[in-house]
């Protein structure tokens, strides 16, 4: 079941990559419709094999799986996965909580923006690094301790 789901997602990823090359909107719309049908069939098969929790989860997040494809139709780039960013945020949160601190809203926004720019626009990130990070290449930030 997992292999089938991964294959469908890879097909959709490939369709979005083709869309960025040839901008064939109708073909991508057709592929999105195909993906929805395939997911519905997958959910039925999963329920038939007593994978009820997996079926319910995929049914619930079906449209979220399409986010990057629907964004492409609007000429917006959204990566198909955010695993790298999530891992970095988990590490930042762990280090902050370990010393009993918490992120300010502005601090969290700035760090996330910096991480996003570093992934999407290398030239812009180099400029930001020159201006804000200085020659040492480290981001200086402070963490306020809880209750302090």
b vs e for 88-109, b when ≥16 Cβ sit within 10 Å of the residue's Cβ? ebeebeeebeeeeeebeeebee
Q: Give the number of domains in the chain.
A: 2
- Look up the domain containing 96 and give its range: 82-132
54 with 35, same domain: the answer is yes
24 with 60, same domain: the answer is yes
Give the number of other CB atoms < 10 A from CB of residue 116.
14
pLDDT 10s per residue in the chain (148 long)? Answer: 889 999 999 999 999 999 999 989 999 999 999 999 999 999 999 999 999 999 999 999 998 889 889 989 998 877 777 666 667 777 777 776 776 666 677 776 777 777 777 777 777 777 766 766 655 555 555 555 554 4
- For 19-147, strand residue ranges (E) read 101-102, 144-145
Strand, coil or helix: what is 120? helix
4 with 65, same domain: the answer is yes
Residue 142 lies in a domain: no
What own/partner pairs with CB < 8 Å and gap ≥ 24 does 134-142 have? 139/111, 139/114, 141/107, 141/110, 141/111
89 with 47, same domain: the answer is no
For residue 19, give the nearest of 85, 78, 82 by alpha carbon: 78
């Amino acid at each position: 079941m997992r292999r089938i789901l991964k294959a469908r997602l890879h097909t959709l990823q490939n369709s979005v990559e083709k869309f960025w090359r040839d901008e064939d909107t109708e073909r991508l719309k057709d592929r999105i419709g195909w993906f929805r049908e395939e997911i519905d069939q997958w959910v039925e098969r999963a329920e038939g094999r007593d994978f009820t929790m997996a079926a319910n989860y995929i049914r619930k997040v079906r449209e979220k799986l399409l986010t990057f494809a629907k964004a492409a139709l609007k000429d917006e780039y959204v990566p198909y996965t955010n695993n790298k960013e999530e891992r970095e945020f988990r590490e930042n949160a762990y280090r902050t909580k370990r010393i009993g601190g918490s992120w300010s809203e502005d601090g969290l926004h700035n760090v996330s923006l910096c991480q996003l720019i570093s992934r999407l626009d290398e030239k812009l990130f180099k400029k930001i690094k020159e201006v804000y990070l200085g020659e040492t290449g480290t981001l200086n930030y402070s963490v306020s301790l809880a209750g302090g």
